[in-house]
Amino acid sequence: MIEQLDRLGLYLNQPEPAILCIQCKFALKADGDRVSRHLGERHGISKLARRGLGPFIRSLRLPDPKTLPVRSDGSSPHPHLRIQQGAACKHCGLRSTSLEVLSRHLNKVHPQDIQHSRGRGFSESHWLQDHILDRLSFQAWTVSHIERSWTVHLYRGQPQGPHTPVTIYQAPEPIQVFAKELFVREQQYLSQQARGSLPKPTGRTTSATDPALITNWMRRTGWEETFRNTRRDLIVAMVQCPPKENPGPLWLANYKDEALISSQEDEHKLTRMMAYLRKGFF
């Protein structure tokens, strides 16, 4: 029967008694015919291939995966469990795959710990993220129970299986596609650089778009195209912070013989927003 489990993509785990789906990388509930239904509905495995699986699984009397004992932190990765990237609260160890969740937790549960760090003169502790242990790798028997997870130690170059880790730093798909395009263009740029075929400096000190003056991040983000023919002095004026005292109407620049002014109401809104951000991050 073990050979049939292998053919069906199942793994009988020991010493923690559980049946794992190798493709989905989590433990399956074994009551009733759930395991067989999972293979049929999720992976399209025929009834003929699954014949006899249900009675065998029930004979094992496997517990609910949610009740399985948690492995020790720092364990070696289980080859058939998904690796998730997350973070933990430094004060109580609460774990999450969301920095936003942990930030709310810190503000609600640990405001005194944060204030205590400030009182000791640790200026870096003004940032909520300094109270978080991030870039941790977790595994758990079930995907949705990170509170019952354990940390795993990934060695350099260690494969992580067919699943891309679920990470709090994962970018949306359009951004990933854009990043890949940037990578291709960067490789082309480096190839041109190695061949010595890049444009030579023009010698014009007034040209902000001279290829020799554009830094890597400016080139990769399309800075030259985005801000072509743009009033740079106006951009600089727009990013100025409101004055701390008596924020009022702010003159930005003259554009086509018309004065561009940020109203007192808008300046007050910006001041309130900045005060809110200071409370959240400092």
The string of pLDDT tens digits covering residues 135-171 is 899 999 998 788 899 999 886 545 444 344 444 445 5
pLDDT on residue 168: 43
Rounded to two decimals, the pTM is 0.53
Inter-residue long-range contacts of 134-138, CB under 8 Å, 24+ positions, other chains counted: 134/87, 134/99, 134/168, 135/85, 135/87, 136/85, 136/86, 136/87, 136/88, 136/95, 137/77, 137/83, 137/84, 137/85, 137/165, 138/83, 138/84, 138/85, 138/86, 138/95
* Tens digit of each residue's pLDDT (9 = 90 or more) over 223-259: 777 777 777 777 787 777 776 666 567 777 787 788 8
Average pLDDT, integer, range 179-201: 72
Q: What is the mean pLDDT of the chain?
A: 79
Q: How far is residue 53's CA from residue 21's CA, in Å, rounded to a whole number?
A: 14
pLDDT on residue 117: 64
